[in-house]
Chains A and B, each alone.
Chain A
Amino acid sequence: MFIIDLFLKPVFWIIMGMLYLIMIYSARYWAQDLNLQMNWWKWLLSAAWFILLSLSLAGGMTLIGEGETQAGLYFLGLFLLIDIILGVGLWRLITMKSKKKRV
């Protein structure tokens, strides 16, 4: 067990950190290539959205992990739905402003 605690756990989070770094690094390129006029609050909202999505996933899976499978699935269903709706809203917000600026 101590192998997991001492070694695997930190390694897991180090890998996760690297994944996040790559993601953040590439986000700039994506924004440029998709012609998005990003600014600080748009980045902030996007980050918040991604965190919410991550927490929804983690939350639902935690419930499943502790044996509350049904509750976990409902939780996932509800929050992923909310995430999708918010995501679409966010996308509109991001793209709408950029159009105005271009005009």
Chain B
Amino acid sequence: MDWALALFALLTIVAAWWGGKQRRQIHQNRHIATRYPDSLYRLASHGKGLWKVFPKGKKEAFYLATGKAQGYAGGLKVAVELAPEGRIQKIQVLSASETPSYLSKIYQSDYLEAFRGKACERNISRLAQTDGVTGATQTSRAIARAGEQAARRITSEFFPDKTAPSPTSRVKFGIQESILLLLFALTLLSWLPRLAHKKKLHRICLYGGLIFLGFVYNRPLTLTQINGMLAGHWPQWQHELFTYILIFATLIILLITGRNPYCSSICPFKGFQDALGNLGRAKTAPLYNRRLWTWIQRSLAWGAVLIALWTRNPGISDYEVFGAAFHLTGSRIMFLLLGIITIVSLFIRKPWCNFLCPIKPVASFIKLFRYKMIRTWKNTKPVKCSENAFCSSSCSQR
């Protein structure tokens, strides 16, 4: 039964992915066409995503180009207008599959104004290095990067002498990444059988995650990020090494060991609930229809993936409270939900993890396929189970 449902889920996800892709193609240049209607402008195309625009009436012609970059939840498309003398006269976000509250932070600030009058893309890339709008750092950086790309399109075509050399994308490996790797290593260590201080190590990981991934860096793993990648918004790995490590280390460890390192001891929100639960001596929820809850939780996650893939906009189906908890951004409903979860956490162990979090169902989904695979593999070619530490802690054959 599980297996059948899982296959069904997989099929629907693939279908949504494909459907979303079709939908997408139809709408390619819609944004430019609506913002620069024929009645007011004449657009002369100069290649992909690049135009010279002649406003009707006596105004001067200007250059227009689009650029793309990855924000927090997905892709951002930005249009840049360059005045004839090569200064930016306007930058606007054409489309964004971004969590709405981050975007509205941008719009509320004067961030887009900061671009006006900037001479060339070198200035913009400088903007891309700054933190931009507090509470929406990733989004503002993405806008700057997309703007840079667009401006580069124009300058390389029309002002080749002014074009700045392409920035060498240097890989950013810093404290954040090191801490993350350390957390993963400690988690693996804490899984070793017969290790002294297992519990303590686990605690260290959990609260380390809470402090660093949560309060300090605000970078928990989210379904929204995964959805973004599934929808084809792969962030530039040089800039987002952290995200890649987070997702792929989790995935790889999950595939090898069959245990989910993230949910077991890295997730900052689990640490949050755990701390509260300890404070209130929380109990495990006394539930009779646990299976029903599990399926509700799974359906939620499944729905979120479908919507994200179909609309190609992971931000829409973002129902994770992490942003509200660690970033102080989110809709009112998110804050309300966060409040409820906080209170419930005092009395019931990990309500978010157990009843709502979409990461857990995704992990168990993957686990199910892994299990199936191992079974088929074993049936065709039986192997001897090695007394590997990882295996022994998770192997279902023992």
Contact = CB atoms under 8 A, between A and B. Distances in A.
Task: Say if the two chains contact directly (CB < 8 Å).
Answer: yes
Interface of A: 74, 77, 81, 84-85, 88-89, 92
Nearest to B281: A92
Nearest to B342: A81
Given A92-B279, A92-B280, A92-B281, A85 B346 contact: yes
11 contacts: A74-B335, A77-B335, A77-B336, A77-B339, A84-B346, A85-B276, A85-B342, A88-B279, A88-B346, A89-B279, A92-B281
B339 A81 contact: yes
Interface in B246-287: 276, 279-281
A88 B280 CA distance: 6
Nearest to B280: A88
A93 to B, nearest CB: 10
B343 interface: yes
Contacts of B339: 77, 81
B249 to A, nearest CB: 32
A84 B336 CA distance: 15
A32 to B, nearest CB: 23
Interface residues of chain A: helix, strand, loop or mixed (majority): helix
A35 to B, nearest CB: 17
Nearest to B346: A88
Contacts of A92: 279-281
A96 to B, nearest CB: 10
A88 B347 CA distance: 9
B32 to A, nearest CB: 37
- The 10 tightest CB contacts between A and B, nearest first, are A88-B280, A88-B346, A89-B279, A81-B339, A77-B339, A84-B343, A81-B342, A88-B279, A92-B279, A77-B335
Nearest to B278: A92
A77 B332 CA distance: 11
A88 B279 CA distance: 7
Given A85-B346, A92-B279, 12 more contacts: A74-B335, A77-B336, A77-B339, A81-B339, A81-B342, A85-B276, A85-B342, A88-B280, A88-B346, A89-B279, A92-B280, A92-B281
Nearest to A96: B281
A84 B344 CA distance: 11
Contacts of B335: 74, 77
Contacts of B343: 81, 84
